[in-house]
Structure 1
């Protein structure tokens, strides 16, 4: 009887430890620390206004790669700030690139661009392969890419104009 109690107690202890590891694994970051850089993965996507856009062709200039959806409330709220930042820092070389996901229709996307006065390139990630390769699971998601093509920061969620500007100045 003593052996059975011991075995049961050990099993419960091991099961508890395994459960704790599983629960804690969701708290661990899968991204490199923010002070480390990683080369931005190259891709080519169709542009809303025609043709294709290849990211690596724009290495050499600072890039804000922005994943969004027209139906996302936070994306709608943040878009005027992105337009302002692009208009302010375009002359310093900044390129803002919007990557649309969950696109219901091209016309809906065109209306979104027109309504917000977006002049930066808008790409369509129809199969969401690029989003997946960048680990985008929540939007809006921002990647700040320096002139060397390295991702120096990435942020998920709504960013204020001041936060956007601070990150943009870091890559200029």
Structure 2
């Protein structure tokens, strides 16, 4: 009998798991993992606190972004399109700025890009921690009305998939 571990099988499992993780990160995944939004506050562009639990009760499209992130700036027109299509159907569309963006930078970007959706700042990093933690921008999520993550994606989100998901979440 061979009592030695089968490193080849272990290696295949490890590589397969890593590949699945990378595939999920690149394509976006649906998890239905709840995010605990209670007691979690961020700030609006006036520096006033906003409780993230206020997002509950409606589907939410939220992107963690930064004004200095080229991919985040490229994502803005897609976020505006989501806002234009789904805000009247009750979807919260939110740009959650990372802690290192100043309110002045955010206000300038909102004005320059004519951003109609809600922009908040995660000044303490607590929201980024609650969502993952979020370490890279852009990182995009769709939450259902109960605050469960239904889709998450690092990098550009799949516009067709998100459109279909938000359509399904607003027609139930």
**TM-score under structure 1 length normalisation:** 0.76
Q: 1:161 to 1:49 in 2, by over 3 A?
A: farther
Residue 52 of structure 1 is matched in structure 2 by 49
Q: Does 1:95 align with 2:66?
A: no
CA distance in 2, matches of 1:160, 1:93: 21
Q: 1:116 aligned to 2:116?
A: no
Gaps of 5+ in 1: 1-9
Give secondary structure in 1 for the equivalent of 2:150. strand
| RMSD, aligned α-carbons | 3.0
Q: Report the secondary structure of 1:127's partner residue.
A: coil
Q: Could you say if the C-alpha distance between residues 160 and 150 of structure 1 is closer, same or farther in structure 2, counting changes exceeding 3 Å?
A: closer
Post-superposition CA distance 1:16-60 (Å, at most 9, x none): 67x948x646546499x9454122221211111342222222211
Q: What's the offset of the Cα at 1:71? A: 0.9
Compare CA radii of gyration and give the structure with the larger one: 1
- What does residue 127 of structure 1 align with? 124
Aligned residues: 160
Q: Deviations over 1:59-113 (max 9, x none)?
A: 1111112100111111111101111211221110011111101534221111111
Q: Which residue of 2 aligns with 1:7?
A: none
- Who is 1:69 aligned against? 66
Counterparts in 2 of 1:162 and 1:116: CA distance versus 1, 3 Å: farther
In 2, are the aligned partners of 1:103 and 1:124 still within 8 Å (CA)? Answer: no
More displaced 10-residue stretch of structure 1: 80-89 or 102-111: 102-111
Q: What is the TM-score of this pair, normalised by structure 2?
A: 0.76
Select the residue among 140, 150, 153 that pairs with 1:152: 150
Contact 1:68 1:140 (8 Å CA) reproduced: yes
Cα-to-partner distance string for 1:2-25 (whole Å, 9 max, x where unaligned): xxxxxxxx9xx87x67x948x646
- Aligned equivalents of 1:35 and 1:110: distance in 2? 32
